[in-house]
Amino acid sequence: MDPARAEALLGFLALADRLKTVERRGRVVLPGGGTRRENSAEHSWHLALLALLLHREVAAEIDLGRALAMIAVHDLVEIEAGDTYAYDPAACATQAERERAAADLVFGGLPPDLGAWLRGLWEEFEAGASAEARFALGCDRMQGFLQNVLSGGLAWQEHGVRRADTAGRMDPAKAVDPVFAQLIDRLYARARAGGMLPE
């Protein structure tokens, strides 16, 4: 390997390590009680596990490797753009612009062939441009919802999120496949039973 390419790869991996420092609004329940905020790297791992479990359950033929590649890169732009809370309209209004600029920085430090490949995966995910991208997006939305249910709806309560507020995020995930709809409906039932998400 060319030394400059090796240095670019190591530099990118060091940058990617910063994803562990990007906090999300979702909470992780700690053993023995208490909570802390989930970070984006933990989210990506949990999302990958979800995809691994569900890819054979859905009707569409899913290239798991491609879906997992999108999952691995989908939140790297948050290193520069930060996490955008789904229920913050002001932040959501500027999200696409901020994340495009962040993608220039994050993927631009790689050798051109690798940078174009990873950016292409990120863009495919964002656009929902394939069965794999839609599957990965469904998993992404479901993981965030699951994290809220697992933590007793703490982030929802902190931000005044109601059931109706979640439809715009969860309806597209439910539309990916009946398996997603079934699992998400079960999570809604748990949220309702636990008083986590007011009607």
CB 53 within 8 A of CB 46: no
Residue with tokens 């992780």: 28
Sign of CA dihedral 10, 42, 179, 166: negative
- Distance CA(126)–CA(97), nearest Å, equals 13
Global pTM reads 0.94
Q: What is the structure's pLDDT at 198? A: 87
The residue extents of the domains of the chain are 3-193
Topology at the third CATH level for domain 3-193: Hypothetical protein af1432 (1.10.3210)
Q: Is the pLDDT of residue 199 over 90?
A: no
Work out the mean pLDDT of the chain and round it to a whole number.
96
Q: What is the structure's pLDDT at 62? A: 97
Q: Is the pLDDT of residue 173 over 90?
A: yes
What value does the mean pLDDT take over residues 119-142?
97
Exposure string (b/e) for 157-175, b if CB count within 10 Å is 16 or more? eeeebeeebbeeebeebbe
% of the chain exceeding 70 in pLDDT? 100
The pairing of strands 35-39 and 23-29 is antiparallel
